[in-house]
Chain A
Amino acid sequence: MECPLTSNIRRGQPPLDIAGYERVGGYQAVRKALATMSPEAVTQEVIDSKLRGRGGAGFPTGQKWSFVPRGEAAPRPKYLIVNADEMEPGTFKDRLLLEGDPHLMVEAVIVSAYAVEAEVAYIFIRGEYRLAAERVERAAAEAAARGYLGRNILKSGFSLDLHVHTSAGRYICGEETALLTALEGNRAIPRAKPPFPQAAGLWGRPSVVNNVETLCNVPHIINRGAEWFRGLSLGPDGGTKIYGASGRVKRPGAWELPMGTPLREILEQHAGGMCDGYALRGLLPGGASTGFLTADHLDVAMDFGSVEKAGSRLGTGTMIVLDDRTCPIGMLRNLEHFFAQESCGWCTPCRDGLPWTERILAAIESGEGEDGDLAVLEMHTQCLGMGKTFCAHAPGAMAPLESGLRHFRGDFERHIRTKSCPWRT
């Protein structure tokens, strides 16, 4: 099984330096793209690869790039921004890549920036990811010293400046337009779309924002072709995927597997199944903002379409597992506390609705639930839906709550009826 994303990563070992990285074929994609391919050809190759965004939304990457204005008339400068603000609860796949193979990240940035004709790139890294930021910064410096960054890279005429920016820390900065606003030094508040960042993004200029894992695929696609990349997958979406699991499983972790690997295989084989004495009650397949799947869904292939068909989202592909010895209401209260606190405060439903759900969940968990509370929670799951709020933050926050209310209805009712939490007694 090929693991292009993680092939250079060795547990407990420092990442490859530039010499080591070049020895295993590193920066060949830069050489190939800049010397032999036009930006349009690179973009086309990525379109053909069927690479979809790994940040959670799954938008086709090449298509996103194709919306960027090109040529002489395009506004300048153009920007490529790497979304490395990995703050989704339960998700740590980008950290693995950034810490484990920073040169892959740098190479991916160069090739991708070339594809969209960007002259400036930013890597927007979660503030807490200090080691990742250090390693990427060092890699970028090494790459610059070797002529892969800066003016007239490899005499191709293409120039690129790469800046590493560490976030001041808000979950909403993972939303691409809020990220841009934060990068400009302003309050991290999402922007209205249109205009999309490709047309008017960072400082009003054409910008592409891509997730770390997404971009790390690009050098491999360029080196080995779209067809090879599609072939890595078990389903319609190209490539491999870093799946992860956290919770009461025997071996929490992250693994690069073919896109579309069945949920059961990830949970039972790679994560080693549930810890002894614990049974599976449900799981959030792709981070905190995806809806619960249950034991009934273990045969679902973990690709975008299949998970959606099962009633959830692939999200980041890193699952949070709920066991039978943990109160689901407590878990949801914890999640909604996170989402309420991370609301940017811009739109009413999110700003004032999420704290209300958190407080109801806390009341129910502590035995102070009342008749009608579930109706209020349900009202929120409907009224905080996509399109009703300004961005996807609140709809994401409602995904676990909405599915939780469906799958764990009895637990909710029992809490309210008995005025106590069965897991606490």
Chain B
Amino acid sequence: MATIHVDGRDYEVQPTDNLLHACLSHGLDIPYFCWHPALGSVGACRQCAVKEFRGEDDRAGRIVMSCMTPAADGTRLSIAEAEAVAFRKSIIEWLMTNHPHDCPVCEEGGECHLQDMTLMTGHSYRRYRFTKRTYRNQYLGPFVGHEMNRCIACYRCVRFYRDYAGGRDLDVYAAHNHVYFGRHEDGVLESEFSGNLVEVCPTGVFTDRTLANVYTRKWDLKGAPSVCVHCGLGCNTIPNARYGEVRRILNRYNGEVNRYFLCDRGRFGYGFVNGPKRIRRPLLAQDDGAAEPVAPTVALGRWASLLRDGRAIGIGSPRASLEANFALRALVGPERFHAGVADAEGRLLETVVAILRDGPAPAASLRQAEDSDAVLVLGEDAPNTAPRLALTLRQAVRRAAFALAEQQKIPHWQDAAVRDAGRDVRSPLVIATPDATRLDDIAMATLRGAPDDIARLGFAIAHAIDPAAPAVEGLTESAREQAERFAALLQAAARPLVVSGYGSGGEAVIRAAANVAQALRRTGRDARIVLTVPECNSLGLALMGGAPLSAAHAALRDGRARTLIVLENDLYRRADRASVDAMLGAAEHVVVLDHTLNETAYHADIVIPAGTFVEADGTFISNEGRAQRFFQLIVAEDGVKESWRWLNEAARAAGKSNARWDTLDDLITALGEQLPALAAIRDAAPAADFRIAGNRIRSAPHRYSGRTAIHADLTVHEPKPPQNPDAPYTNSMEGYYGRMPPALYPFFWAPSWNSVQALNKFQDEVGGALHGGDPGVRVIEPRPGADSDYAQEIPRPFARRDGEWLVVPQYRVFGSEELSALAAAVAERVTGPSLGLNPEDAAMLAVVDGDAVALELGGASHVLSAQIRPALPRGVAALSIGLPGLPAVALPAWARILPAPPELRT
């Protein structure tokens, strides 16, 4: 530690930090623009100027930029000194020479860092009397709006987009006071991290277009801590709502998980919540097949009558909370509860759980992954399957540059200098996938192969690290050398990381990844593993357990079950049409609880309107094994209720004695008792009776308007806002706001800090953990002393077949995930289904890019657009999966591919 003297007071700081970081961490206010805790310092905006003195006798001092000055022991500085104050004020005055005075009509107004900094510096009178420069704005796609006149040229956007996120299509053009930040021409921003520009931009240049369409001021938006539902990483979010509608998603900082950034699927995928296909009232199928809305009591009565014969089974869901799944499990009985994922996926998830539990390599949080100094990716196309992880890996490869910078005595926060010095050094990243990925540009080596060959590479690497790991038979000399080379890279690292998961399409690949991590661990490396899972609660459901989907079908077919209860799950996404049709046909009655109409719901006798993640509270367990609570943002006043509450009420109506939960906390207690391995989820967040000084926490900012009058167009009786019994919030702007347990922040705000930058006030140290520790509890760790045996089953090498292709899954960041694809903004980014083919294979089939091809798979023929993928190995085809309109198929699988009949060619 070092001591710095700021305006006559002493502060303990890290000498490796810069003065701005150190002062902000101590709660001191220094205005800034270009500096960002995740992007470092570049000294462009000159806003964070302070006066530095050479010693006690130095009265004159000199102006320095606090972001560019190390917090060296003994540094004496003044924030309040007159020249520094005047200089900082003049910076705003300069920025304002061109910044429009459009705050009243600017989307950023009220949460604008530039507004905050303007007030902080005291600039209030405009002396500049000349014209302002104006720009033409660009269309940047459905996510991000562009208003360049507001630009203060802090360069954060390009530094995030290009340097941090690896994007290529946003840049700075022109020079002097006419610098322009945009694309070379109008067009959709390509990066799947473009939405972060909205939060990175300190003013209203880049704004959220999904919010702009239904614009609401920040202070009129309610918030709740939430967890992203669009992949398995568990990024923390804050959805904002007004008038019972979600209006946007903000990043919610979690130092161990997503930190400052989200992917666009997570940020803009919320639209399904407000979607036209939402189920708002219970529906009962009539004799003619039509569904009629009915009163909840009617639906519950009918449902209870189905339950009384005791022959109901349940299918849970990896996109429903642990609590909802547990309530279903309790309703039908553990042995009649099914996990609701395809059998193959269920086995894959069991494998993931076994690897994480039996060790020895622990799961890496995203922060730990970012800190890794060598990464092996086996099979996973992270930019499409778990985008935020890809952004993390992009930072992990910078460890070598930081190490080099340290040698050259360049502080880690000197962003431009570190990047200059380390421009051609990267920590090893080896990517072995069937097809090219959007991380290939930073990879030290990329390998393309069928899943079995990727698995063999993994096994060979593990063997090269630890000869006790099984050897791979029949490896070519060059493949063995390659494996040894990669093994050496991982062994040379202090904190190696192995990444694999559901995108790899095979258990063998995941087991190979586990062998590598295990071999590294056994040879003394602090290795960690990241195994992705497809959905927000895939791992939670796997930990809860449940019979496979085929067992549900068997029970219905054999007559052991008559009623099927489906929880938040479109079975048509889980298995092929014929088998789902057969399963639903075998059930005498089908009850569907879901929030959005889907194909499964059309087959239901009873449809129950479930709450989405914003209308319910609950817990998800991320791929890391982190249990995280999400809280209700919208207290639905129509028929929508939490799934667990519906299930509880159905149990009551049916006279079942084992479901008597008045609140979520009651349920969580019962869950912990019955499933001790999950008991820790109780600690994911404080219980509903949590109070601070006797108060609940307010869910809206203190300036929130219209608490009682908001529905005055419907009733003038100014009702009390409905209150959530399951969480310690007021559902209004009344109540406590201040320091609180970190899992509870419904928004971040501090006096003088109205923008997202207020976050600084809630961290132990800027960029560090939230006060009180980062939210979430890890419920799965390697058992003490765990050291399972190496996986021994090594697949045989991939062999091409005549006339057949091995079809592997191709995930798409936009389209493959069910719920986000329902959001209008994301839907705009979804392109049609396609089949990727190696160019030679395509030539053999006499098809060119865009031609229609017929894929004969699982007894059905699907017509798809051919996509020539030069990186794909011969004999392997990549099928875009999960896209709307494309049936579910189990992959990898062998299939025939034919040029589509001429009438289908366009």
Contact = CB atoms under 8 A, between A and B. Distances in A.
Interface stretch (B279-287, B407-415, B547-555, B593-601): B407-415
Contacts of B49: 388
A388 B63 contact: yes
Interface string A342-375: 1111111101111110010001000000101000
B420 A204 contact: yes
B852 to A, nearest CB: 43
B423 A204 contact: yes
A341 B176 contact: yes
A355 B97 CA distance: 10
Contacts of A370: 129
Contacts of A356: 94, 97, 128, 130
Contacts of A389: 46
Contacts of B155: 346
Contacts of B179: 345, 351
Contacts of A355: 97, 176-177
Given A200-B420, A356-B94, A347 B43 contact: yes
A194 B509 CA distance: 46
B709 interface: no
A1 interface: no
Given A191-B417, A352-B97, A353-B94, A345 B68 contact: no
A300 interface: no
A347 B64 CA distance: 14
B87 interface: yes
B277 interface: no
A348 B416 CA distance: 17
Interface in B494-513: none
B44 A352 contact: no
A199 interface: yes
B175 interface: yes
A389 B68 CA distance: 12
Interface residues of A, number: 37
B21 to A, nearest CB: 16
A295 interface: no
Contacts of B127: 372, 376
Contacts of A341: 176
B408 A199 contact: yes
B43 A343 contact: no
B62 interface: yes
B30 to A, nearest CB: 15
A352 B95 contact: yes
Contacts of B716: none
Contact of B94 (A203, A346, A349, A359): A349
Interface-centre pick from A195, A203, A348, A383 (highest chain B CB count, 10 A): A348
A78 interface: no
Interface in B67-89: 68, 86-87
B321 interface: no
Contacts of B417: 191-192, 194-195, 200
Contacts of B420: 191, 195, 200, 204
B467 to A, nearest CB: 36
Interface in A384-418: 387-390
A204 B176 contact: no
B91 A348 contact: yes
A352 B152 CA distance: 10
Contacts of B175: 170, 187, 343-345
Given A372-B127, A387-B62, A348 B46 contact: yes
Interface-centre pick from B64, B90, B152, B416 (highest chain A CB count, 10 A): B90
B38 to A, nearest CB: 18
Contacts of A345: 153, 172, 174-179
Interface in A309-356: 340-349, 351-356
Contacts of A191: 416-417, 420
A374 to B, nearest CB: 12
B68 A348 contact: no
A379 interface: yes
Contacts of B98: 352
Contacts of B47: 348
Interface string A175-219: 000000000000100011011000110011000000000000000
A199 B90 CA distance: 35
Contact of B45 (A195, A347, A353, A359): A347
B153 A349 contact: no
B249 interface: no
B63 A346 contact: no
A376 B94 CA distance: 11
A48 to B, nearest CB: 29
B421 interface: yes
A354 B130 CA distance: 13
A93 B788 CA distance: 76
A383 B127 CA distance: 16
A192 B176 contact: no
B424 interface: yes
B422 interface: yes
Given A348-B46, A390-B44, A204 B421 contact: yes
Nearest to A344: B175
B153 A187 contact: no
A347 B44 contact: yes
Contacts of A346: 44, 155
A388 B90 CA distance: 11
Contacts of B172: 187, 345
Interface string B416-434: 1100111110000000000
Nearest to A180: B420
A399 to B, nearest CB: 18
A185 B87 CA distance: 34
A341 B174 CA distance: 11
A359 B130 contact: yes
A362 to B, nearest CB: 9
A168 B669 CA distance: 70
A342 B177 CA distance: 10
Contacts of A170: 175
B725 to A, nearest CB: 52
A72 B756 CA distance: 50
A365 to B, nearest CB: 14
B42 interface: yes
B416 A192 contact: yes
Nearest to A362: B130
A349 B43 CA distance: 12
A379 B90 CA distance: 9
Interface in B113-134: 127-130
A387 B61 CA distance: 12
A351 B43 contact: no
A62 to B, nearest CB: 23
A155 B639 CA distance: 91
B42 A192 contact: yes
B184 to A, nearest CB: 14
A348 B91 CA distance: 7
A370 B129 CA distance: 10
Nearest to B173: A187
Contacts of A354: 176-177
A40 B410 CA distance: 27
Contacts of A344: 175-176
A203 B423 contact: yes
A319 to B, nearest CB: 27
B46 A343 contact: no
A343 B174 CA distance: 11
Interface string B44-62: 1111010000000000001
Interface of A: 170, 187, 191-192, 194-195, 199-200, 203-204, 340-349, 351-356, 359, 363, 370, 372, 376, 379, 383, 387-390
Given A345-B175, A383-B86, 10 more contacts: A200-B421, A204-B422, A344-B175, A344-B176, A349-B91, A351-B176, A352-B97, A354-B176, A379-B90, A388-B49
10 contacts: A204-B421, A341-B176, A342-B176, A347-B46, A348-B94, A348-B152, A348-B153, A356-B128, A363-B130, A387-B63
Of all A-B residue pairs in the complex, the 4 with the closest CB atoms, nearest first, are A352-B94, A345-B179, A343-B176, A200-B421
